């Protein structure tokens, strides 16, 4: 699994940090998404998919590769 | 794809609730179960679409072809008062990107997860102090709304914004009038004007004497004038007040009605105190889903022709997204009408909206509920209603649902 985030689309809701805290964080200056793990471990995949579908601004994209 | 026929007598919004005051109006639920989109009539005789299903609400709220800009023709207003509020100085919730994103991003750092988590001891101290005061006297009854549920988020948002809490009677009255859907528009505008004047004065004062708060920081940033800062402060102050306050009082009432759920919440709170907050997180998400205090519908207007749930919404037509029915949609939440504090996937609720306008303060709301509910249950184990359930006054006429008072005894 590969994760991509679009910081321009992000609205800083923090839903991804709440859902998959090891994979996503927020930038201190403006709360915008920061990707911690571009290729997250398998045990986080389910949470990452939840974070993708729960992201209100569609700023997270997951590709299976 | 079909274009739904307009029924001869469309459903009127807002509709009345039914027997259970926690449930959305039966008319909305029936509409959801019958068809994806329904035509509804508003207070001024105009009509718009009502979106009631979980998946459709999500798709509308994250689609930029639906605008939040209230100055666009066709934008559906829920009352004359709501229309009056938006014609003055619009806040970013009534703007589209990029203007919306620019303003919202001035605040996102203040409400990010890590920063809000660090506020936990402060929020806990406020909750403990309020409960100390409430239980200090010889009496063993109180109005939980006035003594606890409302002052808790009020003190916290005042601290964050830099608004003196001593003025709370004034701004709570303004805030409350602004949220009334049955008030004359002049009254609603007047309340907003008084609140804006107060906050403009505050911003001006902080230019010469800055402090460590949001208003001071916005002043120092230099991108907004005092009126714009006041407008942003007004949004945060009102949004920060009534939402958590009503979630807290309704949640406590739901616990009093369902002792088994109250016991689950107590157990979740014990686990949280031992360092595992998972069960408490789930319980709070379920209460947000089940109660959905923002009950009057989120307004958008289509800027292009868009198909929603098989129905064509034409450019210039308004839509109202009913978060409450979306949160009880069986397709998203099996047995959705049941409160189940262990529900898996409760976090997929729409209580904070969805899309780029999703509630900015949601981490703070979650923290306040995680602190407030265990505090009440822990301090007042014998808590019960001090009046018959039937005598409680629910906030049907307010944009944010909840209770006017919650008389309790312990």
Cβ atoms < 10 Å from Cβ of B128 = 13
User: Which residue of B105, B110, B113 is in closest CB contact with A17?
Assistant: B113
Is the bond into B307 cis (omega within 30 degrees of 0)? Answer: no
Cβ atoms < 10 Å from Cβ of B198 = 18
The reported pLDDT for the residue numbered B388 is: 98
Q: What is the spatial distance between Cα B174 and Cα B355, in angstroms, rounded to a whole number?
A: 28
Cβ atoms < 10 Å from Cβ of B3 = 11
High-pLDDT (> 90) share of chain B, % = 90
* Backbone dihedral region for residue B33 (phi beyond 0: left; psi -120 to 50: alpha; all else: beta): alpha
User: Which residue of A12, A19, A56 is in closest CB contact with B105?
Assistant: A12
User: Which residue of B105, B347, B354 is in closest CB contact with A56?
Assistant: B354
Buried b (16+ CB within 10 A) or exposed e, A40-52: beeebbebbbbbb
Cβ atoms < 10 Å from Cβ of B173 = 13
Residue owning tokens 């005092």: B226
Cβ–Cβ gap B113/A14 under 8 Å = yes
With 50 as the cut, is the pLDDT of residue B1 above it?
no
Which residues of chain B make contact with A14, given a CB cutoff of 8 A?
111-113, 362-363
Cβ–Cβ gap A11/B347 under 8 Å = no
The reported pLDDT for the residue numbered B6 is: 47
User: Which residue of B61, B112, B348 is in closest CB contact with A26?
Assistant: B112
Q: What dihedral angle (degrees, nearest 10) is formed by the CA atoms of B200, B148, B363, B327? A: -110
Mean pLDDT of chain A: 96
The tens digit of pLDDT for each residue in A32-63 reads 999 999 999 999 999 999 999 999 999 999 99
Q: What is the spatial distance between Cα B253 and Cα B153, in angstroms, rounded to a whole number?
A: 18
Cβ atoms < 10 Å from Cβ of B395 = 22
Which residues of chain B make contact with A13, given a CB cutoff of 8 A?
352, 358-360, 362
Q: Are B380 and B227 within 8 A, CB to CB?
A: no
Cβ–Cβ gap A31/B112 under 8 Å = yes
Closest Cα to residue B44, out of B70, B86, B80? B80
Q: Compute the average pLDDT of residues B96-116.
A: 96
Q: How many CA atoms lie within 13 A of B356 on its CB side?
A: 28
The reported pLDDT for the residue numbered B9 is: 61
Q: How confident is the model at residue B5 (pLDDT cuts 50, 70, 90)?
A: very low
SS3 A33: strand
Q: What is the spatial distance between Cα A2 and Cα B410, in angstroms, rounded to a whole number?
A: 54
Give B8 or B181, the one with higher predicted confidence.
B181
Q: Compute the average pLDDT of residues B118-122.
A: 97
Q: What is the spatial distance between Cα B152 and Cα B157, in angstroms, rounded to a whole number?
A: 9
With 70 as the cut, is the pLDDT of residue B94 above it?
yes
ipTM of the complex: 0.95
Alpha-carbon gap: A2 to the closest alpha carbon of chain B (Å):
23
Residues in Cβ contact with B260 at an 8 Å cutoff, skipping those fewer than 6 apart = none
With 60 as the cut, is the pLDDT of residue B144 above it?
yes
With 70 as the cut, is the pLDDT of residue B347 above it?
yes
With 90 as the cut, is the pLDDT of residue B4 above it?
no
Q: What is the spatial distance between Cα A15 and Cα A37, in angstroms, rounded to a whole number?
A: 16
Q: Compute the average pLDDT of residues B127-142.
A: 96
Cβ–Cβ gap A31/B362 under 8 Å = no
Q: Are B127 and B120 within 8 A, CB to CB?
A: no
Cβ–Cβ gap A30/B348 under 8 Å = no
The tens digit of pLDDT for each residue in B278-337 reads 999 999 999 999 999 999 899 999 999 999 999 999 999 999 999 999 999 999 999 999
Interface with A, mutate which of B109, B118, B119 (most A CBs under 10 A): B109
With 60 as the cut, is the pLDDT of residue B7 above it?
no
User: Which residue of A25, A30, A50 is in closest CB contact with B105?
Assistant: A30
Interface with B, mutate which of A12, A15, A28, A50 (most B CBs under 10 A): A12
Interface with A, mutate which of B61, B107, B108 (most A CBs under 10 A): B108
Alpha-carbon gap: A37 to the closest alpha carbon of chain B (Å):
18
Mean pLDDT of chain B: 94
Interface with B, mutate which of A13, A17, A19 (most B CBs under 10 A): A13
Residues in Cβ contact with B361 at an 8 Å cutoff, skipping those fewer than 6 apart = B111, B236, B239, B240, B243
The reported pLDDT for the residue numbered B241 is: 87
Residue owning tokens 């939980």: B144
Q: How confident is the model at residue B82 (pLDDT cuts 50, 70, 90)?
A: confident
Cβ–Cβ gap B113/A19 under 8 Å = no
Cβ–Cβ gap A12/B355 under 8 Å = no
Closest Cα to residue B290, out of B343, B239, B240? B343
Cβ–Cβ gap A13/B360 under 8 Å = yes
The reported pLDDT for the residue numbered B110 is: 96
A17/B contact by beta carbon, under 8 A: yes
Q: How far apart are the first and last CA of chain A?
A: 5
Q: How confident is the model at residue B181 (pLDDT cuts 50, 70, 90)?
A: confident
Closest Cα to residue B67, out of B76, B54, B56, B78? B76
The reported pLDDT for the residue numbered B2 is: 45
A60/B contact by beta carbon, under 8 A: no
Q: Are B67 and B301 within 8 A, CB to CB?
A: yes
Q: Are B79 and B336 within 8 A, CB to CB?
A: no
Backbone angles phi, psi at A33, to 5 degrees: -55, 140
Alpha-carbon gap: B112 to the closest alpha carbon of chain A (Å):
5
High-pLDDT (> 70) share of chain B, % = 97
Cβ atoms < 10 Å from Cβ of B42 = 20
Q: Compute the average pLDDT of residues B125-135.
A: 98
With 90 as the cut, is the pLDDT of residue B225 above it?
yes
Closest Cα to residue B155, out of B375, B379, B368, B403? B368
H or E, element range at B32: helix B26-34
């Amino acid at each position: 699994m590969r994760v991509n985030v679009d910081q321009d689309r992000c609205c800083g809701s923090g839903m991804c940090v709440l859902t998959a805290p090891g994979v996503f964080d927020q930038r201190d200056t403006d709360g915008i998404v920061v990707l911690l793990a571009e290729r997250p471990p398998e045990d986080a995949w389910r949470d990452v998919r939840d974070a993708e579908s729960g992201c209100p601004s569609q700023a997270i994209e997951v590709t299976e590769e | 794809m079909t274009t739904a026929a307009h029924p001869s007598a469309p459903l009127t919004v807002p509709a009345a609730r039914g027997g259970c005051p926690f449930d959305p109006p039966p008319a909305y639920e029936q509409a959801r179960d019958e068809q994806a989109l329904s035509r509804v009539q508003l207070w001024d005789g105009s009509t718009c679409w009502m979106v009631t299903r979980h998946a459709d609400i999500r798709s509308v709220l994250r689609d930029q072809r639906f605008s939040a800009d209230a100055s666009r023709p066709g934008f559906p207003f829920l009352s004359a008062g709501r229309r009056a509020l938006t014609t003055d100085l619009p806040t970013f919730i009534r703007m589209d990107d990029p203007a919306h994103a620019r303003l919202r991003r001035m605040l996102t750092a203040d409400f990010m997860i890590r920063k809000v988590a660090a506020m936990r001891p402060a929020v806990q101290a406020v909750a403990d102090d309020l409960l100390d005061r409430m239980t200090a006297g010889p009496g063993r009854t109180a109005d939980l709304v006035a003594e606890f549920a409302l002052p808790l988020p009020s003190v916290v948002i005042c601290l964050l914004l830099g608004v003196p809490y001593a003025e709370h009677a004034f701004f709570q009255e303004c805030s409350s009038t602004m949220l009334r859907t049955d008030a004359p528009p002049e009254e609603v505008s007047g309340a907003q004007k008084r609140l804006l004047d107060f906050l403009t004065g505050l911003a001006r004062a902080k230019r010469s004497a800055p402090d460590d708060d949001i208003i001071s920081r916005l002043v120092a940033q230099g991108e907004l004038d005092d009126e714009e800062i006041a407008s942003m402060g007004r949004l945060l102050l009102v949004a920060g007040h009534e939402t958590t306050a009503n979630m807290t009082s309704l949640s406590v009432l739901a616990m009093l009605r369902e002792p088994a759920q109250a016991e689950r919440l107590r157990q979740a709170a014990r686990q949280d105190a031992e360092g595992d907050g998972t069960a408490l997180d789930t319980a709070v998400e379920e209460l947000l889903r089940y109660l959905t205090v923002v009950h009057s519908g989120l307004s958008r207007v289509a800027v292009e022709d868009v198909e929603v749930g098989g129905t064509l919404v034409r450019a210039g037509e308004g839509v109202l997204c009913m978060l409450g029915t979306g949160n009880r949609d069986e397709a998203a939440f099996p047995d959705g009408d049941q409160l189940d504090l262990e529900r898996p996937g409760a976090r997929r609720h729409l209580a904070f909206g969805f899309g780029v306008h999703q509630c900015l303060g949601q981490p703070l709301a979650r923290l306040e509920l995680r602190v407030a509910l265990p505090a009440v249950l822990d301090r007042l184990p014998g808590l019960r209603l001090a009046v018959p359930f039937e005598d409680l006054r629910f906030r049907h006429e307010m944009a944010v649902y909840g209770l006017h008072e919650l008389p309790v005894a312990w």
